[in-house]
Amino acid sequence: MTLNQYIRDIQDFPKPGVVFKDITPLLANPQAVKQCMALLINNLKEQKIDKVVGVESRGFIFATLLAYELEAGFIPVRKPNKLPFETIASSYELEYGLDTLEIHTDAIKKGEKILIHDDVLATGGTAKAVCELVERLGGEIVQCNFLMELSFLHGREKINGYNVYAPLIY
């Protein structure tokens, strides 16, 4: 089984000129999800992870599964005004606009080992903003994990210096 067969291209979404990589066919296939999880977990090579940070919203799916498998806590990073407690924020550019992400101020204790997970590494703006949030709270980033990387957008360059992994590269 190749995971690529479960990623569907959607032309001109969310705006003209963008080819969106739709993971819903992958999510609908339990064997594809299992294979994806095996790749993501095996890549961590017995690393100690205290918490998994998942990025709204598609990043939550595998981040919660990873947290469960790693016996780690799960931390949601969300768009503004979605988290109920005190937050800190970081703004960033993405391939089709500007946005902001927030995290609870008490989500990470200084020195905790953090795995960041999102569904896609595109321009790297989102990942860089999340790395900034984690480090502002004192977390130590073990790895930035993605289901897929759009290498032609050079997002890795924005998070240079971090361990980055994506089983699917386009």
Domain presence at residue 41 = no
Residue 95 and residue 155: Cα distance in Å, rounded? 10
When pLDDT is averaged across residues 44-49 and rounded to a whole number, the result is: 92
Q: Which of 56, 69, 93, 95 is catalytic?
A: 95
Token couple for 156: 């890795």
Considering the entire predicted model, what is its pTM?
0.95
Structural domain contains residue 16: no
Q: Which single residue is written with the structure tokens 């089983």?
A: 167
The yes-or-no answer on residue 8 being catalytic is: no
pLDDT number for residue 96: 62
Token pair, residue 125, equals 């703006």
What does the longest C-alpha to C-alpha distance in the chain come to? 44
136 is catalytic: no
pLDDT tens digits, residue range 13-29?
A: 988 998 999 999 999 99
Is residue 96 one of the residues assigned to a domain?
Answer: yes
Q: Reply yes or no on whether the pLDDT at 1 is more than 90.
A: no
Q: Which two tokens stand for residue 90?
A: 């970081």
d(CA 77, CA 91): 12
- Whether 10 is in a domain gets the answer no
Domain-embedded: residue 128: yes
* Count of structural domains, the chain: 1
Report the CATH number at residue 60: 3.40.50.2020
Domain that holds residue 143: 46-169
- Residue 107's nearest CA partner among 64, 63, 49, 51 is 51
